[in-house]
């Protein structure tokens, strides 16, 4: 690795350390919309059982999301947003 790339990497790691220590704000942030599982499911016109099977999750998990007891997180949240924005992708699985 040449000196220029090494110095850029060193600066980046120092910035990351400052961000983690809350000494500096990140340059950019990302926000993923909170999906509404029930709205998405009704858009597909599927029962809870059918939609849970399509997402490969338990019906209990889907019910918890729909009733507000739990919120989808991580990959499930992304999958629901993809399903909402591009239903053809999910239905083509």
Residue 48, domain CATH: 1.10.260.40
Q: 24 with 65, same domain?
A: no
User: What's the domain range around 23?
Assistant: 1-28
Q: Are residues 4 and 49 in the same domain?
A: no
pLDDT of residue 30: 81
**What is the pTM assigned to this prediction?**
0.65
Instruction: Note the pLDDT tens digit of each residue in 8-66.
Output: 999 999 999 999 999 999 888 887 778 999 999 999 999 999 999 999 999 999 999 99
* pLDDT confidence of residue 60: 98
Residues 78 and 49 in one domain: yes
34 near 70, Cβ under 8 Å?
A: no
Give Dmax over CA atoms of the chain in angstroms.
59
Q: How far apart are CA 77 and CA 3, in angstroms?
A: 41
**pLDDT at position 93:** 58
């Amino acid at each position: 690795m040449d000196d220029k790339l090494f110095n850029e990497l060193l600066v980046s790691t120092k910035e990351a350390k400052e961000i983690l220590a809350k000494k500096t704000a990140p340059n950019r942030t990302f926000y993923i919309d909170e999906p509404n599982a029930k709205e998405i499911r009704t858009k597909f016109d599927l029962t809870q059982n059918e939609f849970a099977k399509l997402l490969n999750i338990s019906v209990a998990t889907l019910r918890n999301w729909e009733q507000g007891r739990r919120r989808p997180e991580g990959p499930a949240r992304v999958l629901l947003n993809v399903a909402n924005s591009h239903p053809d992708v999910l239905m083509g699985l």
